[in-house]
Chains A and B, each alone.
Chain A
Amino acid sequence: MTMKSAIAANRFGLGARPGDLETIEKGPVVWLLDQLQGPSRQAGELRKLPGSAVVLQEIDEIRKADREMRELATAEAAPDIVKQYGRTVRGHFSAQSEARYRVAADSDHPFHERLVHFWSNHFAVSVDKNPLAAIAGLYENEAIRSNISGKFADLLIACEQHPAMIMYLDNQRSIGPNSTLGRRANRGQRKRAVGLNENLAREILELHTLGVDGGYTQADVTTFAKVITGWSIGGAGNAGRFLEGDPGTFEFRESIHEPGTQQIMGNRYSQKGLQQGKAVLRDLAIHPSTARFIATKLARHFVADEPPAALVDELVATYLESGGELSEVYETLVGADAVWLEPHSKYKSPHDFVISTFRAFDHVPDRARLVVGALDTMGQAPFRPGSPAGWPDTAEHWGGADALYKRIEWSNTVSRVVGSRVNPVDLGDAILGATFSPESRKAISRAESNVQGLTLLLASPDFQRR
């Protein structure tokens, strides 16, 4: 068995299942490229989830009932509604988390699945903001899953228009000062001036496209915030405002959109309405700074914390020549010699570690609670990066002493459950192939019990890296 099969399965995929390496051995690069369009039919786990519009409508209904209760001042009814709200949100979160990790544990397209997770983290939302916990997994499925192998511009627009992103970065009520509604409100001498919220605009430039040193200024942030005023959600209103549009879906609100031609990074945008923001996003998508930012992140994720400059340059060139065609960028990535040289250059994140463990035992987790709990304990609770930058992607972040200890404890716990059903040395050979080091192999073969051997295998540097 060659090194290349093990790298394909463990670095580019989500970890080998027993038997996978034999399949991959026939042609690792082809095995990867054949996955790029994903499975022909979406996994049943994902199909059975309700859409984000349905979930958001459900939440809106609960909130509406809560408001009505408060207005009637029937205080004794309110706690039930708060409980119902919590139960609803938690229920959706559990179902979506469970689906995500079941699909990952079971996927025959693990490279595709890893890319879904990569982009989901690039365009991160975090469930510590309400009510993102109810739709974070749906956002991944709806905005990201079907767009990861096309043009980056399409992926970008799909993410920025998804209600999850608009809510997460507060754009739904950002109001152009010269929009119809803005002028009316500010003329009215109201105590509160209405206006912009620049959160989404800034993070698109800083985190989604150009990168922090990508060449934009504070003035560009403010202008871009004006350009995307009106990018909102149907039925998102409170107090009788903003009720038009289909609840829980993207809604462009002309009434709060800042009119007029705008200039961003030297380019003029004279488009009207929604088209203006899309035009800016399309230009940002093919900007050289974006190409470099994306290329560097991809190379860091797949090759090394400090990725080789020549590889990044190659990816940038493909990106720019193809106008941000992501499948071509992936093809350049897996076709580069540099990615196949060093089998253990990446320290797994807890997310990687947990998924690859399930795959090693060819086990599909049936209780979300266990997966969510394990990831939380190891420092990477699902869909909870805590910031729009997403989770970091380097060993210096994941390499905390306590974090390693938690991995050891979890390895031990899992191994006790699996017990004596699996021989640890055979399993190591099956999933690590040529990347199973003689040192680890020896240590594991001398273990005093099967459980201990499995613990050592999961905690071994060979399995902890990819």
Chain B
Amino acid sequence: MLSRRDILRAAGIGTIATSLPGWALAKPDSDARFVLIILRGAADGLAIAAPYGDANYRKIRGELSMPAPGEDDGLLRLDNTFGLHPSLPGVYAQYEKNQAIVVHALASPYRSRSHFDGQDVLENGAAGTASLRDGWLNRALAPLGGSLGNEVAIAMAQNTPLVLRGNNSVTSWAPSQLPDADASTLRRLQDMYADDEFFATRLVQALKSQEIADSESSMGEMKLRNRNSQQQRLMMEAAARFLTAEDGPRIAVLESGGWDTHANQGTTSGALANKLAGLDEGLTALRDQLGEMWSKTVVAVVTEFGRTVAVNGTRGTDHGTASAAILLGGAVKGGRVIADWPGLGKTDLFENRDLMPTSDMRSMFKGIMSDHLSVPDSLLDNTVFPDSVTARPMRDLIRS
């Protein structure tokens, strides 16, 4: 009986490794791994890394202020100004090992407060509009040498999020409880799809990730029907398996929803604390499962924008502007908070309500793409992030 690999080979695409001629000068570290985690719904950067040392913090955050480091359930001290949310002990352990960075007062170029446009700009890499139809991470794949059936990037979901959509072939994977289709049916489907590029391409991509999943014995049995707190951990573990598989992808994208805390956000416990604890558990599982590959990995945890500095009328926060991002991994030059801190005084805020953005999220991504994945700066300035010459890459994020 034919295996999936045989089907791919028969199609003549599984084994062709291509390299694009224009990027001969780049010397990518082929072991470098990158994981992007998108928190959808605008995660509250002022709760993820609270500026307890800012003189205005308690006054303006009121009942959503976090207890200072050293108090009961207090913040985990990052430096004299910032403390990490106590539900992120795994991230903090990495921070103490100099393998995590918090980047604060960070925002994409988007300055309105729609989740959906905000997520589009975060993902399409445009200089502020939601209309670009492919994703910056897809455009960054060109020099990394992937091709149809030999994808460099995987979306850990049935569908591909905007950040990975585009001309470069990517794949996606999510666990299934359905029985496999047999090889003969799959081959006939390939024949039937031959003249329809939309279907033909996707089938090849899917077969590739199935092939890797098949080689990882326990993955096929993953049961994720319950959307409980375990899901994030299981998806992170699955991502790590793809990233460590021979001939597998080097880049993975994961998504997490439910960060839109308009009401009863909570502080050391409550809705947001639970979300953060689930994230932390997932990140720890990712590190454990990556094993030695962790030393070559950068994980970026980002969100589309932040939340209002002041508490709203329902013990939550409304849509804001700047937020915080977390970078972690063995390849990260960590143990630092990177922030040009704008302050929380009334006149310091963006439109009198939000944390003022002082760092451009594109700069952070450009630093990672350039120094970790060796994507050429010219490509980053003009194509990956169009019209972004002024958003200089953040250097010094990656251990040399």
Contact = CB atoms under 8 A, between A and B. Distances in A.
B146 to A, nearest CB: 13
A223 interface: no
A283 B63 CA distance: 38
Given A170-B263, A196-B312, A197-B312, A387 B116 contact: yes
Q: Identify whether the interface residues of A are mostly helix, strand, loop, or mixed.
A: helix
Interface string B333-363: 0000000000000000001000000000000
Interface stretch (A47-55, A107-115, A259-267, A372-380): A372-380
Interface in A402-426: 402-406, 408-413
A121 interface: no
Contacts of A347: 198
Contacts of A207: 116
Using C-beta atoms within 8 Å of the partner chain, give the interface range for chain B.
35 or more
Identify which of B41, B159, B206 gathers the most chain A CB atoms within 10 Å of its CB.
B159
Interface stretch (A4-12, A240-248, A358-366, A393-401): A393-401
B157 to A, nearest CB: 7
B176 A401 contact: no
Q: Which of B192, B257, B262, B313 has the most CB of A within 10 A?
A: B313
B209 A192 contact: no
Contacts of B116: 206-207, 212, 387, 389
A194 B180 CA distance: 55
A315 to B, nearest CB: 21
B158 interface: yes
Nearest to A402: B172
B133 interface: yes
Contacts of B184: 448, 452
A209 B244 CA distance: 47
Contact of A404 (B41, B191, B202, B312): B202
Given A195-B313, A389-B116, A464 B209 contact: no
Nearest to B115: A387
Interface string A114-153: 0000000000000010000000000000000000000000
B195 interface: yes
Nearest to B134: A396
A17 B191 CA distance: 27
Interface stretch (B31-39, B314-322, B378-386): B314-322
B210 A405 contact: yes
B241 interface: no
A71 interface: no
Contacts of B158: 377-379, 400, 402-403, 406
A403 B172 contact: yes
B25 interface: no
Interface string B147-180: 0000000010111100001000011111011111
A411 B225 CA distance: 19
A398 B159 contact: yes
Given A170-B262, A198-B318, A456 B192 contact: yes
A128 B227 contact: yes
Contacts of A195: 312-313
Interface string A180-201: 0000000000011111111100
Interface string B198-242: 110111011101100000000000000101000000000000000
Given A195-B313, A399-B159, A456-B185, A128 B257 contact: yes
A389 B112 CA distance: 16
A435 interface: no
Contacts of A128: 227, 257-258
Contacts of A288: none
B62 A192 contact: yes
Nearest to A380: B158
Most chain A beta carbons < 10 A, residue from B192, B262, B319: B192
Interface stretch (A18-26, A76-84, A439-447): A439-447
Contact of A400 (B40, B172, B314): B172
Given A174-B313, A387-B257, A404-B206, A379 B157 contact: yes
B216 to A, nearest CB: 15
A412 B210 CA distance: 16
A399 B198 contact: yes
Interface of A: 128, 169-170, 173-175, 191-199, 202, 206-207, 212, 218, 221, 347, 373, 376-379, 386-387, 389, 395-406, 408-413, 439-440, 443, 446-448, 452, 455-456, 459-461, 464
The 7 closest A-B pairs by CB, nearest first: A195-B313, A400-B159, A379-B158, A401-B205, A405-B206, A409-B178, A403-B158
